[in-house]
Structure 1
Amino acid sequence: MFDPRVAVASLSGESDAEWARHAVPHVGAAFLGGVALDEPAQEAARALVARGRSEFLTDDPLAFVEEQLVALADTDVFAAVNVRSTTVDPIRDVAALCADHDAGVEINAHCRQDELCAVGCGETLLRDTDRLVEYVTTAADSEAPVGVKVRAEVGGVLLSELAPRLAAAGASWIHVDAMDTESVVADVVAAAPDLFVVANNGVRGRETAHEYLRYGADAVSVGRPSDDPVVLRRVRAAVDEWFDGDATDPSRDAGREVPHR
């Protein structure tokens, strides 16, 4: 889906076009956002800012998204916009906009802040799977590439059961924040082999990148240190090493079979 198989992951209020441009020499993809699309989601974002978090606050979310995508038009990076909405119509609108700019749209089923969950955004969608599938189907109808960012370790949610439904709805990728359960990546890979799997959480260098790749991830994404070129260079070197076939898989030396694509 993108190459090199390294991405920078959305950080609310920080991941804009300027941030992505700094990462371009090291990555194949940049997930911008998250962007609150409708009024309840924007109100939740304003509440988060009031207690000191960074968020993108804008009177016209679509104009903001277009401005960011235009600013990246002269790069080779695959850009996707991570979005939040309590209703489906804004998903349709932003997906159409992304399609016009050869960009992707990523449905945010990941954020766990109380304000977002209270209005039905973020990880709430992991339990409201029918609505999440509707969002994916609607976005896919625009012909923009569509993905979903998810979180592991949400009670009662099995990503291995959700992933095939997302693929059937038209998703091209799933962006998995593994939390402290890195092996969940292998479960998702096995359950939905047609999805491009981007693994996230704690990616800092060779050890962490190769762990996710041994579990079958197609790519890794860097979150908090995504503005640190030293980390990005280190992760890029590790991923290139893996896909060039120069990496040794320690799981094989231990006699343990680990999915590896």
Structure 2
Amino acid sequence: MFAPRVAVASLSGESDADWARAAAPYVGAAFLGGVAIDETAQEAAKELVARDRSEFITDDPTGFIAEQLAELEATDGPDIFAAVNVRATTGDPIGDVAAVCADHGAGIEINAHCRQDELCAVGCGETLLRDTDRLVEYVETARAEGARVGVKVRTEVDGVSLPGLAKALADAGADWIHIDAMDSEAVVADVVVAAPELFVIANNGVRDRKTVHEYLEYGADAVSVGRPSDNPAVLQRVRTATDGWFAKRNEESVSDDDREATV
């Protein structure tokens, strides 16, 4: 879906076009946002700002997203895949944002990840993990607009089977799943088995060779960097580790093919 197999992950109120541009020399993808795209979600975001969290607050979320994607498109430098992480309490605005993303060759990522009380109270974030029908509806709505679509999820949510959810998302037409693995890294392997058609991006604690290789050994297709995504030293370290892992895997695959050819 993108190369190199490193992404920078959305950080609410911080991950804009300038942030993505700064990371572009090290990554193949940037997930802008998260952006609350309906009035109820925006009101919840304002409550977060009132307790000193950074959020994108705008009267025109769809216009804001279009501006950010246009700004990123106009940037000189390496081409990267851009997607916008969005929070929504209903499916109504998903189609509008997805259409904008499709126009810019970008993707839309449904946020089923954030766990702040203010967001969960209005049906955003991780509450979607327990509402498969609504999450599937969001994916199908975005897909109908021609956008590439993924979902950001988290592990360790009581009563939620991520492998089962991943299969439902794949059936709905999702292209990727972005997993915040918390302390349950092995879930990545279960998701890969359950929904092999999804591109799996692993997130949480990605900092160095050890953390990169752990996720890739579990079968992740790529890794993403969250909090230190504005740190070039971390991004370079992660990029080097990721490139090295895939180069070694490709060498081993070629060697296996050569051995089979001589049998």
> Which band: TM-score by shorter chain?
over 0.9
Mapping of 1:167-206 within 5 angstroms? 167-206=170-209
Equivalent residue number for residue 259 of structure 1: none
Aligned match for 2:220, one of 217, 221, 227: 217
Shift of 1:248: 11
Shift of 1:245: 1.0
Contact 1:84 1:107 in 2 (8 A): yes
**Cα deviation per residue 1:149-202 (whole Å; 9 max; x = unaligned)?**
000000000101100100010100000000000001001001000000000000
Unpaired segments of 5 or more residues in structure 2? 253-263
Normalising by structure 2, we get a TM-score of: 0.93
Shift of 1:19: 0.5
- 2:39 and 2:68 map into 1 onto residues whose CA distance is 20
Equivalent residue number for residue 143 of structure 1: 146
Aligned residue for 1:86, secondary structure, equals coil
1:69 aligns with 2:69: yes
Contact 1:241 1:247 in 2 (8 A): no
Equivalent residue number for residue 42 of structure 2: 42
**Cα deviation per residue 1:118-156 (whole Å; 9 max; x = unaligned)?**
000000000011000000000011111000000000000
Identical counterparts, % of pairs: 74
Unpaired segments of 5 or more residues in structure 1? 250-261
Return closer, same or farther for 1:51/1:108 CA change in 2, 3 Å cut-off.
Answer: same
Mapping of 1:74-89 within 5 angstroms? 74=75, 75-89=78-92
1:106 aligns with 2:109: yes
Shift of 1:247: 9.9
* Paired residues, number: 249
Equivalent residue number for residue 127 of structure 1: 130
Shift of 1:113: 0.1
Higher Cα radius of gyration? 2
Normalising by structure 1, we get a TM-score of: 0.94
1:13 aligns with 2:16: no
- 2:38 and 2:153 map into 1 onto residues whose CA distance is 20
1:28 aligns with 2:28: yes
Contact 1:209 1:235 in 2 (8 A): yes
RMSD of aligned Cα (Å): 1.3
**Which structure has greater helix proportion?**
2
- 1:174 and 1:88 map into 2 onto residues whose CA distance is 19
